[in-house]
Amino acid sequence: MKKIEHLGIAVKDLNQASIIYEQLLGITSYKTEEVESEQVITAFFKVGESKIELLAALSDDSAIAKFIEKKGEGIHHIAFDVEDIYSEMKKLKEEGFILLNEEPKKGADHKLICFVHPKSTHGVLIELCQEIK
C-alpha cells in the first residue's frame, strides 16, 4: 500500500455537501462523476496529496443509500493507493481478508478498485485502488 488515496464520505445531497466542503477546504471540486455500476454520484476534492470523495446514492439499492439509512451521513470508506491491485488482492485473500470483488472493477476517477469487507477490518470499509494508466 502506497498511501491513503482518498476518504469516502457518504452524503444525502451532493450539491449541498459540495458547497459545505468547498467552504471548509477553500477549493472547488475538481470532478463530479457518476459510477453507474455502484449507483453513486461522486464529487472529488484535492487537499494536498490526499483526496476527499463525497458520495451520494443514485438509487435506493446503492450501498450509499443503505449505509446512510443505517448509520447516517459520514465517513464511508478509506481508500489506499496500490501499485498492483491483482497482487495486493491475492495477498490479502491468502491472509484471510474478505474481499468484496473476485476481480478488480472500474471505479471513479480512473481507478481499478476492490473493496475489503468491514467485518475483516474492525468495522472500516477499505478500498484498494490502482490508477489506470
Instruction: Pick from 5, 38, 81, 88 the residue near ligand CMX by CB under 6 A.
Output: 38
Query: How far apart (Å, rounded) are the C-alpha atoms in residues 87 and 21?
Result: 35
- Contact between 118 and ligand CMX by CB under 6 A: the answer reads yes
- If the CB atoms of residues 26 and 36 are measured against ligand CMX, the closer one turns out to be 36
- Contact between 56 and ligand CMX by CB under 6 A: the answer reads no
Distances, alpha carbon 58 to alpha carbons 10, 38, 110, in Å: 12, 9, 20
> Do the Cβ atoms of 35 and 110 come closer than 8 Å?
no
- Contact between 77 and ligand CMX by CB under 6 A: the answer reads yes
Residues in the chain: 133
Among candidate residues 119, 113, 121, 133, the one with its CA nearest the CA of residue 53? 113
- Contact between 66 and ligand CMX by CB under 6 A: the answer reads yes
- Contact between 63 and ligand CMX by CB under 6 A: the answer reads yes
Q: Which residue has its beta carbon closest to ligand CMX?
A: 63
Q: Alpha helix locations (H) across 72-123? A: 85-94
The 98-117 site mask, x for binding ligand CMX (CB under 6 A), equals: --x------xx------x-x
The radius of gyration computed from the CA coordinates of the chain, to the nearest angstrom, equals 14
Query: How far apart (Å, rounded) are the C-alpha atoms in residues 59 and 55?
Result: 12
The site for ligand CMX (CB under 6 A) is made up of: 8, 35, 38, 40, 42, 55, 63-64, 66-67, 70, 76-77, 100, 107-108, 115, 117-118, 123-125
